[in-house]
Amino acid sequence: MPVSTTVDGSTFYNRNQCRSFKQTVSTSLTQLSATICSEVIIVNRTPGDILIYDNDNASEENSFLLATGESFTFRGLTNTCVVSTIALSAGDIYYRSQYFSFSNSNA
């Protein structure tokens, strides 16, 4: 639930509940930990490329290639658990879930 903050007499509700994760991915399909979001930023820190899939579309023609050291923002999600990865070499990825980009609302 959004938490209210009052600044100079105006109340704001931050609906952008962000979470950060570090997760080890392997050479078999690995689902991201579940958290509600509308987008996720993934940073590949494995020693090789990773393939990223969404919505149970784990076929090569539906994959997104993310090279070592690269990052990408995936939008239009409802939860990070709809995203899965396969690493060419097992290692860690980092990701940050966001509910909205730039979404403070004035009440």
pTM equals: 0.80
Alpha carbon of residue 81 to chain centroid: 9
pLDDT, tens digit, 9 for 90 and up, residues 54-76 = 987 888 889 999 999 999 999 98
pLDDT band at 101 (very low <50, low <70, confident <90, very high): low
Does residue 11 sit within a domain? Answer: no
Domains: count for the chain: 1
Q: To the nearest whole number, what is the mean pLDDT of the chain?
A: 87
As a whole number of angstroms, the distance between CA 56 and CA 2 comes to 30
Per the domain annotation, does 5 fall within a domain? Answer: no
The answer as to whether 107 is a domain residue is no
Per the structure, the complete domain to which residue 67 belongs is given by: 16-101
Handedness of CA 8, 9, 15, 21 (dihedral sign): positive
What was the pLDDT predicted at 66? 98
pLDDT at 36: 87
Let me know if residue 70 belongs to a domain: yes
Q: Over the stretch 82-97, which tens digit does the pLDDT of each residue have? A: 999 999 999 999 999 9
